[in-house]
Structure 1
């Protein structure tokens, strides 16, 4: 009886203003309705303290971390908190069998020990500006979609160049919103000297690994710590031993007060992409094309990688980062397709489209322009269905498959005439691929993916190498792959060196791997060309569809789809019931870690270091415990997030840091397409657990002293 009362109370709390909780809002365009909704949920700070283009505000503490994650600045000396999985690649690059920072963690005891990461940068947003009128002025109704895109790209480049001409340390980016109906300029400043300061061992930062990924309850200490460096004038600078810690205009304060059921929670970060306005035809294509290709192909590739990673430590270190990146979106695709079916997302979208169709027919101005909009979408998606699906499998099987092909494509795209800095960076990227490559594993992957692609697509989409395999190798994929790797010069750094030194005795185009790369590009181009006409019409119709939906529901408060620009989402800390008879609390504790260790005995993904277990058993959590003396590890809110939000700051009503967002939940994996307020949850690691690990486990109290703790 008590459980039912608790669940009822949770639904009452979480259903208050559920529409307000949905949305990834532009900070520079927070309307009165959105600001009021935030206040009603408990926000205690004015909007100009969150975002201001003229004075220091909360947004100045939030960064895009490497262009693929988010982070938050927490000290006056440029310390940045982000997720462990966001820093994973950097941690892996510094790891060796002798110094295994992935397994053992890393602590810089002083600033001279902080490790540089030449390819890593952080990006600060300075301001945003609506440039829609200026951009659309460059277009007219007589243009087809390709011409319109070209005109928009040209004016966008012009606007961006104006920013950097005024200040060479600034970057201007014009992004499309609402399906290409609006355009905003974002002005950024990038810092390229970012150093690793602290990383917990993977047994903390990746506790549960693939099994727990996208799941709640969660017990993962998914965080790492970096520091931003600048020149002596506090300006951006490339790495140099002479650089000094960056002093930001705003530092996010840290709260040790925690949260309760229904507490206001606000997330600031850089969500990657959502498709909330996509038509049902586009959703169906995504399910059967890109998502299914990712599920099938990555499943094959990752099984080979994981087997070898479990056998050898050197392979585990080499392949850890690429496995982590690959498996994350593989499991995401599995969950997304499952959730779309279970939550009847397509059916709901089609109901809305039926309403839209009726509205168009009943509205004279709309009827004249859009009478055949939905029919056109249906026809053109159907026209490109087969080619689009083949292209998805092609991309996963070959472009994103064997690393030999990836190397061949990197070499073919190498620009000797580029800026020296870019040439060096590109060269380093290629060399790093060699360092993390095992040829025997790559050959096995290539052989397996040849078979997988052949089974999944019609014969007319097989590239020329399949004819070679059938005629010269009697259909033996392995014999073909073995010969290819044996004959290619670019399987080793020696061949790469001959290429870069422009050895006149080495004709790179005649190398069999390079020739294969050229064939792959031709096949990729052919499939895209087959879809060109349909794709242009789809792009136009989806833009018109997006605008029509907003006009039909003109009284609603619309937010644009995520597009890797800074967004704010807000809601409450909130438990949920994923299915009948189940109730998930809004936080987890170390007790859950012990329980998972017991339930997964012998599984290395759930191993915990004896030292951490000792600290848990001692129960000396100090000021990081709650009022009951308990340590909270992770918590959930109904904030609206997606990929790219990893590492996003989760703030309380006063703009104080509660933790870092690092995941969504399995039951709402269709969230990129539709928001489900009763199910969707944002999983965060509690900042108090982070500080406990840093101070007690890592013995790095000096880092904690840098923070502004409330």
Structure 2
């Protein structure tokens, strides 16, 4: 019975359920298409993605390389999440014009705000280039040689595309652990302007408290516009640019949904690890995830305290805090769910079955008999140094902003083309504009203490000895001296650097010197883990391939890797635990109830005008059939980070809303799909339009849309 239960558990964990999978558009097979039809899809499958004809994917964008979005008007309006546009909104905010708190609406094209570092990316086509990439690989080749050869061929393919058309971006990505390779060809538009943002009391309602939690009441959306040259092709920002005219515009459904309504997402999910070994999952738990939990928890507590004391600091640090806390809470939930749902134990059961299959299959036994012992030994060999590397990155490379400034300066390339030089200078100036030195000193001091408490002294950077020998062990004294002596914390110091003043030796600056020491130490730690890491990369690739061979008749999908993917399912509620049942949508009543229940909590504060607006119940054509106003809804679509802003379509290819989050009970979804628990949280497009029209008075934007 034990053997049978193990096999059943393996089948459940690896089978592609009807609503499981982040599917490649260029490799969507008959089985997946048929399943979508059975779930209710009416939109022609060959019109979802077709590189030779206009299709639905022509309106789906990668937004900034970290989120997704969808084009909804003939003049290039793009819907994405509020948290995806948060950095852009923050950059334009001041104490006089606090767009974070008050929201923003451009009444004319001239009022739309440019964002030099923002871009949108359209997928033009994909192509399987596996045979070409792997043609030079021979049996017995070392992993280093294999990597060098595959890399060189991947770069060659990318260069060929660019040589034919310099407006294209070609990227070859590995799939299935490096067993397959696919080319994606994109076109980027770099003139992207902010058009509309709701107040944060709508766009971020619930903040950290509600993040990754259902029921949800967050109006997580913002609106941008793509601009192009007069030929409709990509162009750098210019007042002469005109709105981009897309080949396809997504229509918007006002009909809503009910439980069981077909739902399809198109977007750019970041990374999943559905085929990672149990050794890899355990390492992520104790290394990367735990370091985020520990280090970011300390840093964010300092930031939040000061943000609540000062509006000036709140504006400077809002975007940084938002990005940091999102992954901090994700890591917290992921580690919790891995333990609760016994994901490690379930993965080990699967591995035991795989090991028996290898033993029972002569050809597999000859090549893979030592696969699991090799995985175990190599993960063990890099355990301590790998954990130190994770804490090092969080504490220093991603901790004090002084270090980040120093690294930016060290890596500044004056020989790059003028456009790139100006962009890097702008990025540096933005860092200065959003830096509070007193706050950063406190963070740096806390990072030194936290790293010391978590990591063996073998992995301490050299400045720890300096603190002991020259500052009597006082972290505060060391940091005070560092910030007092460095010149790069001031505009004058930055000016000396930019002008390459001969009186200023940048390498003698204490902040630059310290950052170089950090880079050297990071390199030393990397050297310790280099050999086992190379072996692990090989073994995980072999592990991935073995799973697919053992279940050759399965409909496998590759892990997410920031390329465009489709997921499909239905709108539906769920039961998170015994005695509880969650409905599939929320309404504005819940916003008002939460605001009252959390009175005094800034995460749920509503400005009087917003409260009056929501209480009016003047929902017009955006109301449900019962007169209520839906805010958010859930489906069992398979998503992960990067899917934020992904369009959620109904059976007719019409927009229902935007995906913006997952749920707390399924935080282990990067490793395993739980059909009874995993839910995609979306903001209802009707609520978005209601906020734009009634609160923002943006009728001119509503007129651009194709409402059905």
Residues 602-613 of structure 1: pairs in structure 2 closer than 5 A: 602-613=600-611
Query: Is the contact made by 1:192 and 1:238 (CA closer than 8 Å) also made in structure 2?
Result: yes
How much has 1:554 moved relative to structure 2? 1.0
Q: Which moved more, 1:471-480 or 1:422-431?
A: 422-431
1:387 pairs with 372, 385, 388, which one?
Answer: 385
The equivalent of 2:418 in structure 1 is 420
The one-character-per-residue Cα deviations of 1:326-385 (angstroms, maximum 9, x if unpaired) are: 000000000000000000000000000000000000000000000000110011000100
The equivalent of 2:549 in structure 1 is 551
The equivalent of 1:12 in structure 2 is none
Query: Is the contact made by 2:74 and 2:245 (CA closer than 8 Å) also made in structure 1?
Result: yes
Q: Which moved more, 1:419-428 or 1:465-474?
A: 419-428
Counterpart CA distance in 2 for 1:664 and 1:95 is: 29
The equivalent of 1:703 in structure 2 is 701
SS, match of residue 17 in structure 2: helix
Query: Is the contact made by 2:70 and 2:647 (CA closer than 8 Å) also made in structure 1?
Result: yes
The equivalent of 2:592 in structure 1 is 594
How much has 1:613 moved relative to structure 2? 2.3
- C-alpha RMSD over aligned residues: 1.0
The one-character-per-residue Cα deviations of 1:226-281 (angstroms, maximum 9, x if unpaired) are: 00000001000000000000000000100001111011000000000001110000
Query: Is the contact made by 1:265 and 1:650 (CA closer than 8 Å) also made in structure 2?
Result: yes
How much has 1:20 moved relative to structure 2? 1.6
Counterpart CA distance in 1 for 2:432 and 2:110 is: 29
1:473 pairs with 459, 471, 474, which one?
Answer: 471
SS, match of residue 266 in structure 1: strand
The one-character-per-residue Cα deviations of 1:479-501 (angstroms, maximum 9, x if unpaired) are: 00000000111111211211121
SS, match of residue 20 in structure 1: coil
The equivalent of 1:235 in structure 2 is 233
Normalising by the residue count of structure 1, what TM-score does the alignment of the two structures yield? Answer: 0.97
How much has 1:609 moved relative to structure 2? 2.5
Residues 159-174 of structure 1: pairs in structure 2 closer than 5 A: 159-174=157-172
Segments of 5+ residues of structure 2 without an aligned counterpart are 1-14
1:286 pairs with 279, 284, 287, which one?
Answer: 284
The equivalent of 2:12 in structure 1 is none
The equivalent of 2:200 in structure 1 is 202
The equivalent of 2:532 in structure 1 is 534
Counterpart CA distance in 2 for 1:398 and 1:386 is: 18
Counterpart CA distance in 2 for 1:474 and 1:594 is: 55
Query: Is the contact made by 2:16 and 2:554 (CA closer than 8 Å) also made in structure 1?
Result: no
Residues 360-371 of structure 1: pairs in structure 2 closer than 5 A: 360-371=358-369
Q: Which moved more, 1:644-653 or 1:424-433?
A: 424-433
Residues 640-679 of structure 1: pairs in structure 2 closer than 5 A: 640-679=638-677
Query: Is the contact made by 1:45 and 1:655 (CA closer than 8 Å) also made in structure 2?
Result: yes
Query: Is the contact made by 1:114 and 1:197 (CA closer than 8 Å) also made in structure 2?
Result: yes
The equivalent of 1:139 in structure 2 is 137
Residues 190-269 of structure 1: pairs in structure 2 closer than 5 A: 190-269=188-267
The equivalent of 2:329 in structure 1 is 331
1:523 pairs with 511, 521, 524, which one?
Answer: 521
The equivalent of 1:300 in structure 2 is 298
The equivalent of 2:9 in structure 1 is none
2:406 pairs with 401, 405, 408, which one?
Answer: 408
Counterpart CA distance in 2 for 1:141 and 1:115 is: 56
How much has 1:426 moved relative to structure 2? 1.2
SS, match of residue 187 in structure 1: strand
Q: Do the aligned partners of residues 18 and 633 (structure 1) sit closer, same or farther apart at CA in structure 2, a change above 3 Å counting?
A: farther
The equivalent of 1:189 in structure 2 is 187
Count of matched residue pairs: 695
The equivalent of 1:432 in structure 2 is 430
Query: Is the contact made by 2:173 and 2:182 (CA closer than 8 Å) also made in structure 1?
Result: yes
How much has 1:445 moved relative to structure 2? 0.3
How much has 1:18 moved relative to structure 2? 7.6
2:628 is the counterpart of 1:626: no
Normalising by the residue count of structure 2, what TM-score does the alignment of the two structures yield? Answer: 0.97
1:566 pairs with 559, 564, 567, which one?
Answer: 564
The equivalent of 2:60 in structure 1 is 62
How much has 1:142 moved relative to structure 2? 3.6
Q: Which moved more, 1:154-163 or 1:575-584?
A: 154-163
Query: Is the contact made by 1:138 and 1:155 (CA closer than 8 Å) also made in structure 2?
Result: no
Counterpart CA distance in 2 for 1:594 and 1:80 is: 29
How much has 1:555 moved relative to structure 2? 1.4
How much has 1:84 moved relative to structure 2? 0.2
Counterpart CA distance in 2 for 1:598 and 1:676 is: 34
The one-character-per-residue Cα deviations of 1:558-577 (angstroms, maximum 9, x if unpaired) are: 00000000000000001000
Query: Is the contact made by 2:16 and 2:556 (CA closer than 8 Å) also made in structure 1?
Result: no
The one-character-per-residue Cα deviations of 1:424-483 (angstroms, maximum 9, x if unpaired) are: 111111111111000000000000110000000011111100000011111100000000
The one-character-per-residue Cα deviations of 1:623-646 (angstroms, maximum 9, x if unpaired) are: 101111111000000000000000
Query: Is the contact made by 1:70 and 1:644 (CA closer than 8 Å) also made in structure 2?
Result: yes
Q: Which moved more, 1:145-154 or 1:229-238?
A: 145-154
Counterpart CA distance in 1 for 2:312 and 2:138 is: 58
Counterpart CA distance in 1 for 2:301 and 2:136 is: 50
Counterpart CA distance in 1 for 2:137 and 2:510 is: 45
1:117 pairs with 115, 118, 122, which one?
Answer: 115
The equivalent of 1:10 in structure 2 is none
Residues 677-696 of structure 1: pairs in structure 2 closer than 5 A: 677-696=675-694
How much has 1:588 moved relative to structure 2? 0.1
Query: Is the contact made by 2:268 and 2:642 (CA closer than 8 Å) also made in structure 1?
Result: yes
Counterpart CA distance in 2 for 1:82 and 1:21 is: 23
The equivalent of 1:43 in structure 2 is 41
Counterpart CA distance in 1 for 2:492 and 2:347 is: 55
Query: Is the contact made by 2:212 and 2:664 (CA closer than 8 Å) also made in structure 1?
Result: yes
How much has 1:618 moved relative to structure 2? 2.3
Counterpart CA distance in 2 for 1:278 and 1:617 is: 49
